[in-house]
A and B are shown apart, each in its own frame.
Chain A
Amino acid sequence: MMRHAPYGNSLAKEGIDAILTAAAYDQNLTILFANEGLSLLLRNQQSDAIQQKCVEKMLNAFSLYDINEVYVDHESIKARAYALTHFSIPTKLLSKEASNHLLQSQDIILSF
């Protein structure tokens, strides 16, 4: 569950690190972006402007690692007036009810 925006603190990057590590160990992963975490997905992040590692580039590894179950919480996207076309990787929109069901069906939730 990715709930924090990138660059302000290291939580978002650490979350992506955890995702890629788990994927490297063949874990069955589902990612849900909610609240500030949606900002992680935006295209064209030029983080060298603030001398930080670009999180968007790390997202490109998702398809390489077969991470396809990537979801975005509908309420969060509405509150920020984002659209799926603003995002650099393919994602699926989930209603609140579906998001809750998604969480419930996991074995373990890691929250960043």
Chain B
Amino acid sequence: MILHTVNKSPTAQSTFYDCLRFVSTSDPLQQTKPNAKILLIEDGVYAALKNTESAKAIQQSNLVFYAIDADIIARGLTPLIMSSIQLIDYSEFVRLVVECDVVQSWY
């Protein structure tokens, strides 16, 4: 299991889409048993804004998406974020890192 972290806004740079493109696959085995989780951190949380292109891409992906709650609160985004994103705190961040085999940082 790979943990991918993305820390850039999808509208500022292509980093978020670079990550999504890299992890998305048409392999049917992968789709039922995904081997990746995506964590939005820092400016990456903007990818989870409701009704955006990136929100659509997240919805269409079969992967689990997480976001750091502190980064959302800090930016005043609380009412604007997709409800399907799993909000986590820093200790849950650590738990995710420990649970996964490797971490790939997209920045």
Binding site for B on A (CB under 8 A): 1, 3, 34-35, 73, 75, 96-97, 99-100, 103-104, 106-109, 111
CA A3 to CA B18, docked complex, whole Å: 10
Q: How far is the CB of B83 from chain A (nearest CB, A)?
A: 28
Among B23-31, B40-48, B49-57, B74-82, the stretch that binds chain A is B23-31
Interface residue tally of chain B, by bracket?
20 to 34
Indicate if the CB atoms of A100 and B18 lie closer than 8 Å. no
Indicate if the CB atoms of A73 and B22 lie closer than 8 Å. yes
| Contacting residue for B102 out of A3, A35, A97, A104, CB 8 A | A104
Indicate if the CB atoms of A100 and B103 lie closer than 8 Å. no
Count of inter-chain pairs, beta carbons less than 8 A: 43
Q: Is the interface of B mostly helix, strand, loop or mixed?
A: mixed
Supposing A73-B22, A111-B107 touch, asked if A103 and B30 sit within 8 A by C-beta, the answer is no
Indicate if the CB atoms of B2 and A103 lie closer than 8 Å. yes
Q: Mark B9-34, 1 if CB is under 8 A from A, else 0.
A: 00000100010011111010010000
CA A104 to CA B36, docked complex, whole Å: 9
What chain B residues lie within 8 Å of A103 (beta carbons)?
Answer: 2, 102, 104
Is the C-beta of B61 less than 8 angstroms from some C-beta in chain A?
Answer: no
